[in-house]
Copies of this chain bind each other. A is one copy, B any other.
Amino acid sequence: MQPIITSGIDRRKLLSALAVLPALTGLPLIASAQAQTAASENALPSWNDGPAKQGIVDFVRVTTEKGSPNFVAPEERIATFDQDGTLWVEHPMYSQVLLKKPEPKTVEPFKTVISGDREAMAKFTMKDLEMILAATLSGMSVDEFNVEARKWLETARDPRWKRPYTELIYQPMVEVLRYLRDNGYKTYIVTGGGQDFVRVYSQRVYGIPPEQVVGTAGGTKYEYGKDGKPFLTKEPKLLLNDNNAGKPEGIHLMVGRRPYAAFGNSTGDREMLEWTGAGAGARLMMLLLHDDAIREYAYGPAAGLPDSKVGTFTPELHDEAKKKNWTVISMKNDWKRIFSF
Contacts and interface: CB of A to CB of B under 8 A. Distances in A.
A143 to B, nearest CB: 11
Interface string A196-218: 10010001000001110100010
A210 B255 contact: yes
A104 interface: no
A209 B75 contact: yes
A20 to B, nearest CB: 4
Q: Copy number in this complex?
A: 2
A16 B271 CA distance: 38
A249 B229 contact: no
A232 interface: yes
B221 A249 contact: yes
A167 B20 CA distance: 32
A256 B214 CA distance: 10
A25 interface: yes
Given A24-B17, A239-B253, A271-B222, A232 B248 contact: yes
Nearest to A14: B20
A230 B258 CA distance: 12
A21 interface: yes
A18 to B, nearest CB: 8
A250 to B, nearest CB: 9
Contact of A230 (B13, B255, B278): B278
Contacts of A59: none
Interface in A223-258: 229-230, 232, 239-240, 245, 248-249, 252-257
Contacts of A222: 245, 248-249, 271, 275
A209 B20 CA distance: 23
Contacts of A211: 78, 186, 211, 254-257
Given A75-B203, A248-B230, A275-B222, A253 B17 contact: no
A232 B274 CA distance: 12
Most central of A217, A249, A252 by chain B CB within 10 Å? A252
Nearest to A74: B9
Given A229-B278, A245-B222, A275-B230, A253 B13 contact: no
A219 interface: yes
A254 B256 contact: no
Contacts of A219: 249, 253
Given A248-B232, A275-B230, A13 B20 contact: yes
Contact of A16 (B16, B142, B230): B16
A100 B220 CA distance: 32
Given A230-B275, A257-B211, A252 B142 contact: yes
A274 B20 CA distance: 41
Interface string A138-179: 000010000000000000000000000000000000000000
17 contacts: A13-B16, A13-B20, A14-B20, A17-B20, A17-B21, A17-B24, A21-B24, A75-B209, A210-B257, A211-B254, A220-B252, A220-B253, A230-B248, A230-B271, A230-B275, A232-B249, A239-B239
